[in-house]
Amino acid sequence: MASNDATEFRLSVLNPGGRDLEQYFDQPSAPDAKTHPPVNFHGFAACTRGSVHRSTKNAIEEKRPILLLLRGNFRATERALAECQKAKRTVAVALKETGLHQIAAQLRDRGKLARFLRVAGAADGCIATTPEAAEIFRRVRLNRNPDTVAFIPTPYPLEEKPWDFAVPPDQQTGIFVGTREWEVASRNHLAALLLAREICAATDEPVTVFNLDGRKGAKLLEELKFPSGKLRVRNKRQSYPDYVRELARHKIVLQLDRSRVPGQVAGDALLARTICVGGDGAVERIAFANFCGEVRTTAQLKTTATALVRNTAARATAIVESQWRAAERLSFQAVGKQLAIFFSRIANHS
């Protein structure tokens, strides 16, 4: 039985056949370590001082509760679930990709849908990193106890000093566009750039955007004709810590994503100690409830963003409030406790 004492609870995250190497979080992860940062599903392992595996055998040998990720065509996940249950491990499953567009793309194939239904129905429980994914799991498991499905947001190491990338609000400058995918319609990347251009014209603040699409992306950005010298384009991928440091130098992170994702753009903004405006991810709705895209028009978001850019004191207050909300729901301590309680509950049910 899993302990509900968060100080004792350890979680093994299993991504069967995945690309990430085994990783152990017995000690806090340093920002400049050459390993996966403790965010997304690695965050679930890190906040419980657990581990991440791609080998089912190694995960089982840990003798801990297992969070098993649904990925690819779900065949490896289904095999891993059978092995874990044979070894009498408590297993919860989670979709690795949980944006609404990603779920739809995965489950439009009959074979994948069948495997998803079998795995989600047979596991001891299901964890969703968005409320929308939780509703899908609950409907799949109609005949099971509803307490065996939980929405648990992805955590961020907010209480760990090395992960505090804060820049004083009076030293921040510019607007960072948090999206970069032109081809995913629900990301609304073009709309975010157009909005950023408007705010730039109204406030004279520069705009930073990442372009990882080479010449094609450069030509698209050129067509938008930002004011001279006001568009700063980053053309190379950065390490995760350097990327967050980039965010931290900006007054706001701006996006118009409508994908209902877990919310890493907002999570990155939390570590950067800046404000995320727009977006409807889970983290946005929790930490940046006053600034997210939930029930707000683009015009309203423009007004909000412009005010934050212009008013240093208001932005500083907003940062403090968002960090407080995040500490309550998204910190390692908060999410580690949620995981311990949930796995204890599903162990009792099973």
pTM reported for the whole predicted model:
0.95
User: What is the rounded CA–CA span in Å between residue 243 and residue 132?
Assistant: 28
Does the structure show a pLDDT above 90 at 34?
no
Q: How many CB atoms lie within 10 A of CB 163?
A: 22
* Average pLDDT of the segment spanning 238-249: 97
Does the structure show a pLDDT above 50 at 98?
yes
* Banded pLDDT at 1 (limits 50, 70, 90): very low
* Average pLDDT of the segment spanning 233-261: 97
Per-residue pLDDT reduced to its tens digit, 164-186: 999 999 999 999 999 999 999 99
- Backbone phi, psi, residue 205, to 5°: -85, 135
Does the structure show a pLDDT above 90 at 81?
yes
Per-residue pLDDT reduced to its tens digit, 267-277: 999 999 999 99
User: What is the rounded CA–CA span in Å between residue 158 and residue 302?
Assistant: 28
Contact predicate 192/177, CB 8 Å: yes
Q: What is the pLDDT of residue 349?
A: 80
Could you please report the per-residue DSSP string of 271-337?
A: HHT-EEES---HHHHHHTTTTSSTT--HHHHHHHHHHHHH-HHHHHHHHHHHHHHHHHHTBHHHHHH
- In terms of residues, how long is the chain? 350
* Banded pLDDT at 32 (limits 50, 70, 90): confident
Q: Strand order in 125-128's β-sheet? A: 23-24, 51-53, 12-14, 66-70, 91-95, 125-128, 149-151
Does the structure show a pLDDT above 70 at 4?
no
Element (H, E) at 67: strand 66-70
Per-residue pLDDT reduced to its tens digit, 213-228: 999 999 999 999 999 9
Q: Which of 140, 105, 98 is nearest to 123 (CA)?
A: 140
Q: Tell me which amino acid residue 88 is.
A: K
Q: What is the mean pLDDT of the chain?
A: 95
Does the structure show a pLDDT above 80 at 82?
yes
User: What is the rounded CA–CA span in Å between residue 43 and residue 264?
Assistant: 11
* Average pLDDT of the segment spanning 57-81: 97
Does the structure show a pLDDT above 70 at 212?
yes
Q: Which of residues 6 and 91 earns the better pLDDT score? A: 91
Sorted by where each starts, the structural domains of the chain and their CATH numbers stand as: 12-155+331-349 (3.40.50), 161-328 (3.40.50.2000)
Q: What is the pLDDT of residue 340?
A: 97
Does the structure show a pLDDT above 60 at 2?
no
* Banded pLDDT at 154 (limits 50, 70, 90): very high
Lowest mean pLDDT: which of 30-39, 236-245, 304-313?
A: 30-39
Does the structure show a pLDDT above 60 at 50?
yes
* Tokens, residue 263: 């919310």
Q: What is the pLDDT of residue 197?
A: 98
* Banded pLDDT at 3 (limits 50, 70, 90): very low
* Banded pLDDT at 5 (limits 50, 70, 90): low
Does the structure show a pLDDT above 80 at 6?
no
User: What is the rounded CA–CA span in Å between residue 56 and residue 304?
Assistant: 48
Q: What is the pLDDT of residue 33?
A: 79
